[in-house]
Amino acid sequence: MRFLSVNLDCFLIELESLEETMAVHYCLKQAQHPHLKELIPAARSILIYFDSLLVEMHTLIRWISSQKISQDTLRQGKEIVIGVRYNGIDLNNVAEYLGISTEQVIQKHTNSYWQVAFIGFAPGFAYLTNPEQVFRSIPRLASPRKKVSAGAVGLAGEYSGIYPQDSPGGWQLIGQTDEILWDIHRQQPALLLPSDHVIFKDDSHNPTQICVPAQRFSQRKSIKKPAVLRVKNVGLQVLIQDEGRKNLAELGVGRAGAMDQKAFRQANLIVGNPQNAAVMEVLNGGLRLQVLEATVIAVTGAETEVWITYIGADKVKVDLYQPIALDYGDEIYISAPSAGIRNYIALRGGIAVEQVLESASYDSLAELGTKPIQVGDEIHFAQLKTQPVSLNLIPIKLPKRDEIIEIDLVLGPRTDWFAEESLDLLFKQTWLVSTESNRIGLRLVGDQPLTRQFEQELPSEGCCTGALQIPPNGQPVLFMNDHPITGGYPVIAAVASYHLDLIAQIPAGCHIQFRKIYDFMDVKKDA
In a domain, 233, yes or no: yes
- pLDDT at position 436 is 93
Same domain, 475 and 443: yes
In a domain, 385, yes or no: no
Residue 414 has pLDDT above 70, yes or no: yes
Q: Pairing mode, if any, of strands 197-202 and 79-84? A: parallel
- pLDDT at position 103 is 96
Same domain, 233 and 358: yes
Q: Look at the chain and report how many structural domains it folds into.
A: 4
Same domain, 348 and 250: yes
Same domain, 95 and 59: no
In a domain, 520, yes or no: yes
| Gap between the Cα atoms of 248 and 177, Å rounded | 26
DSSP character for 447?
S
Please state, rounded to an integer, the average pLDDT across all residues of the chain: 91
In a domain, 150, yes or no: yes
In a domain, 133, yes or no: yes
Question: Could you tell me which residues come within 8 angstroms of residue 514 by beta carbon, excluding any fewer than 6 positions away?
Answer: 406, 407, 408, 409, 426, 427, 431, 493
The domain that holds 151 is classified in CATH as 2.40.100.10
Same domain, 99 and 236: no
- pLDDT at position 466 is 98
Same domain, 22 and 120: no
Query: What is the Cα 346 distance to its own chain's centre?
Result: 24
The closest alpha carbon to 107, from 141, 138, 135, belongs to: 135
In a domain, 386, yes or no: no
Work out the pLDDT band at 455, boundaries 50, 70, 90. Answer: confident
Same domain, 281 and 374: yes
The closest alpha carbon to 84, from 230, 258, 209, belongs to: 209
In this prediction the pTM is 0.86
| Gap between the Cα atoms of 168 and 153, Å rounded | 14
Q: What is the mean pLDDT of residues 466-481?
A: 96
Out of 150-159, 203-212, 331-340, 428-437, least confident range:
203-212
Residue at a domain's end among 187, 202, 217 = 202
In a domain, 86, yes or no: yes
Work out the pLDDT band at 210, boundaries 50, 70, 90. Answer: very low
- pLDDT at position 136 is 86
| Gap between the Cα atoms of 94 and 76, Å rounded | 32
Whether 124 and 189 have beta carbons less than 8 Å apart is answered as yes
Same domain, 37 and 105: no
Q: What is the DSSP string of 165-203?
A: SSEEE-SEEEEE----SB-TTBSS-BS--TT-EEEEEE-
Residue at a domain's end among 10, 32, 65 = 65
Same domain, 160 and 282: no
Reported residue count of the chain is 527
| Gap between the Cα atoms of 26 and 39, Å rounded | 10
Domain limits for position 30: 2-65
Using CA atoms of 306, 308, 314, 318 in order, give the dihedral in degrees to the nearest 10: -50
Q: What is the mean pLDDT of residues 185-204?
A: 88
What is the widest separation between alpha-carbon atoms in the chain?
Answer: 77
Residue at a domain's end among 365, 380, 395 = 380
Same domain, 49 and 89: no
The domain that holds 20 is classified in CATH as 3.30.1360.40
In a domain, 370, yes or no: yes
Same domain, 234 and 301: yes
The closest alpha carbon to 499, from 450, 442, 447, belongs to: 442
Same domain, 429 and 345: no
- pLDDT at position 41 is 87
Work out the pLDDT band at 282, boundaries 50, 70, 90. Answer: very high
